[in-house]
A and B are shown apart, each in its own frame.
Chain A
Amino acid sequence: MSLRGAAYIAGAWEHPTRKAPDKSIALLHAECAKGALADAGLTKDDVDGYFCAGDAPGGLGPLSMVDYMNLKCRHVDSTDVGGSSYQVAVGHAMEAIAAGRCNVALITLSGRPRSEGQATGTAPRPGNPAAPEMQFEFPYGPATANLYGMCAARHMHEYGTTSEQLAWIKVAASHHAQHNPNAMLRDVVTVEDVVNSPMVSTPLHRLDCCVISDGGGALILTKPEIAKSLKRPLVKVIGVGESPKHQAGGEIDLTYSAARWSGPPAWEMAGIKPSDIKYASIYDSFTITVLMQLEDLGFCEKGQGGKFVSDGNLISGVGKLPFNTDGGGLCSNHPANRGGITKIIEAVRQLRGEAHPAVQVANCDLAIAHGTGGALGTRHCGSTVILERE
């Protein structure tokens, strides 16, 4: 049985904060839940399924947050694959709804790494040596920035990709962010600005990196009958895919991402192809993340990503594939160091016709929201969601 269309995104809400030292992480989750329910026209008591990931406080998956929000659920899921968890949650919620396990699924993400002063991208994070890779990786200083830098270096080596081409991705994001009053970085930047910004970890400069922000977001998924009873534009989930990629026992290839595996089942379920997509939310922890995912999702041939993103091709109203029209993680928001949910929220805005008028894509009826969680240089998960305005 195909799951195509088994669920609709009825509510989507992004927290406007980018710095929240005065709020607990639990409160941020609850504010996002409240916002998404109000957006959908539903109430807390309608929720019977709750989905979260590792950013939910408490350490026992959904338990602390269902307690805090006083939810009565008959289905919960806390699959944690970093920033890609929320695309995965959309797929899992759709499965649960199709199976009759819940009717109204709430997905939340929140965090405040900015207020907590995390050196998110540049400090290796020690962990429990029970993680089997820990003693063979941590001594060498793997930090988010260099784990993506290694991928960029190899991509440049194999395909001739340049820093200037990567910079175009940031340039496009900045063109969009200027219209988002909540975005952290609203100044339009040039290719020269990006390649002349300080080097973080070769070949990635400061402006190749996403922002570090507090905030969050939430989604409401529901079954078709309920979605059609509500007053919001109908956004149907027509394709989902998820797949982890890792070091494969040492047979590594850093030139592609897990999108190569999560994309095909999503395209097949949706029954469409990349050229049908009007708007793309693409996970943008770094510029290289975007470039590799665009290739791996089939928007261009492998190795041609640099050419594809150049000359404003990702800028709404200018190029062929408008991407991350809220400014994305590169300029607007990367709450809890996890950008998956904001990718879905902006795709919903576009499909509803509720994006900022300056970046709204005309006749936007098909959109993709792709997430990457973990680290491209070691282990990560790719998760793909394809949405249709009905």
Chain B
Amino acid sequence: MAYVARKIPFVGTPDTYPETKPFFDGAADGKLMVRRCTSCKKVHHYPRQLCPFCFGDCAWEQASGKAKIYTISIMERANPPYAIGYVTLAEGPSVLTNFVDCDFKALKIGQDVKVTFIKAEGEGPTLPFFTPA
């Protein structure tokens, strides 16, 4: 089942909250930004100022963009169909995403993927997506 681009919806704007704006600014520059705790050193997702593991303060860093498919579901009922899944980043956390520029049916759990970027419709920001490495 071939990938067909769909309109990417977005609620709010990338400026809605200063807490998360650097994520969207990074994506606009082709960088996948994640937050690492300055106290426990763990990376989490979705990005928060206070670490969800220890409530320490977090700093932004650029992730490698390398990940493995944790799970996938091809939404065949949608028009066009799309492939939603979680990928586990090399840095640790699993993130919700879509798989693009690939044959959906050929995707396998455990497969290596890499980040790519697509702009959301309207006033929405550029966002990270994943495609086979």
Contacts and interface: CB of A to CB of B under 8 A. Distances in A.
A150 B84 contact: yes
Contact of B94 (A143, A198, A250): A250
B50 to A, nearest CB: 11
Interface string A122-165: 10101111001111111111110110011111100100000000
Interface in B74-111: 74-78, 82, 84-86, 89, 92-98, 109-110
B124 interface: yes
Contacts, number: 126
Interface string B107-132: 00110000000001000100100000
Interface residues of B, number: 45
A135 B45 CA distance: 12
B31 interface: no
Contact of A201 (B8, B76, B127): B76
B11 A154 contact: no
A145 B10 contact: no
Contact of A250 (B6, B12, B44): B44
B77 A154 contact: no
A199 B104 CA distance: 14
B93 A139 contact: no
A136 B96 contact: yes
A154 B109 contact: yes
A122 B77 contact: yes
A225 interface: no
Contacts of A128: 11
A86 B94 CA distance: 31
A139 B71 contact: no
A257 to B, nearest CB: 15
Contacts of A150: 71-73, 84-86
A133 B46 contact: yes
A201 B73 contact: yes
A124 B9 contact: yes
Interface of B: 6, 8-12, 16-17, 20, 42-48, 51-53, 70-78, 82, 84-86, 89, 92-98, 109-110, 120, 124, 127
Interface of A: 122, 124, 126-129, 132-143, 145-146, 149-154, 157, 198-204, 247-252, 254, 378
27 contacts: A126-B11, A129-B17, A136-B47, A139-B8, A140-B84, A140-B96, A141-B78, A141-B84, A142-B96, A146-B84, A150-B73, A150-B84, A151-B71, A153-B72, A153-B73, A198-B76, A199-B76, A200-B76, A200-B77, A201-B74, A201-B75, A201-B76, A249-B44, A250-B44, A250-B45, A250-B92, A251-B94
Given A136-B95, A249-B53, A249-B93, 19 more contacts: A122-B77, A129-B12, A135-B10, A141-B6, A146-B73, A150-B72, A153-B72, A157-B109, A157-B110, A198-B76, A201-B76, A202-B76, A247-B94, A249-B42, A249-B44, A251-B92, A251-B94, A254-B70, A254-B71
